[in-house]
Structure 1
Amino acid sequence: MASIISFTFREAVVDVEYKGYLIPKGWKVMPLFRNIHHNPEFFSEPQRFDPSRFEAAPKPNTFMPFGNGVHACPGNELAKLEALIFVHHLVTKFKWEVVGSKSGIQYGPFPLPQGGLPARFWKESSCPSQNMCP
């Protein structure tokens, strides 16, 4: 739903015409990744959380959570591996539930769950009481 990188700055290395506007060489431009990732031309229902939309690879330059090209995050593969390991252990070794969360995302400038994301975690074998654990 959100990328840690909401935007970046680049410099036009040549004159560029984009949708009838001239961007002169040397001007700074600010690509907004959040807008690209929520563009209905590329993703149906872009505001809905739907991991299945990535069962097929997205079109090039339509999903760039780690930037792209020579400016891509050098740690992107490590970050993806860490996230995969974290999620694996979270879903295979723990039970968990979101507690009193508000829906929505706040931007300022990075995307965060509105009001935080309070949650309870426990190992099934260490559940304090049957009444407290689903």
Structure 2
Amino acid sequence: MPLTTRVIQETLRAASVLSFTFREAVQDVEFEGYLIPKGWKVLPLFRRIHHSSNFFPEPEKFEPSRFEVVPKPYTFMPFGSGSHSCPGSELAKLEMLVLLHHLTTSFRYLYCFPINFEY
């Protein structure tokens, strides 16, 4: 099931479940010439991170193979990260696996027009 897992990861990257969350700076941080003082509220935009070409080349392209290598820390966070991450993330991923299983085994699929696949 490695391919199925990568398809789910790429789906979570392409269509972020969690768009943003609020955090609080625990210390003064300088970011790109700006000072973020300790105590300020910070709003990380996960969709922006997941669609950054700095972390994912050709981010607009659906490419499950990009997850053959584990992403760098804090570049793929579909359910948040750290102590505030979604407690149901593993259940949600399992539900996606079950859904894909039923979709692929319960139906017959026909192409409406010729498609050339490249592998």
TM-score range, shorter chain: 0.7 to 0.9
- Post-superposition CA distance 1:3-30 (Å, at most 9, x none): 1111111111211111111001111110
Cα distance in structure 2, aligned partners of 1:55 and 1:93: 28
Residues 1-134 of structure 1: pairs in structure 2 closer than 5 A: 1-96=14-109
Greater Rg by CA: 1
What is the TM-score of this pair, normalised by structure 2?
A: 0.77
What is the TM-score of this pair, normalised by structure 1?
A: 0.69
Equivalent AA in structure 2 for residue 77 of structure 1: E
2:35 aligned counterpart, secondary structure: strand
More strand by share: 1
1:44 aligned counterpart, secondary structure: coil
More helix by share: 2
- The runs of at least 4 aligned residues of structure 1 exceeding 6 Å deviation read none
Note the aligned Cα RMSD (angstroms).
Answer: 1.8
Classify 1:80/1:24 alpha carbon distance in 2 versus 1 (closer, same or farther; 3 Å).
same
2:57 aligned counterpart, secondary structure: coil
In the alignment, structure 2 segments of 5+ residues that lack a partner are 1-13, 111-119
In the alignment, structure 1 segments of 5+ residues that lack a partner are 98-134
Aligned residues: 99
Cα distance in structure 2, aligned partners of 1:71 and 1:96: 40
Q: Could you say which structure has the greater relative contact order, defined with CA pairs below 8 angstroms and 6 or more residues apart? A: 2
Cα distance in structure 2, aligned partners of 1:71 and 1:54: 24
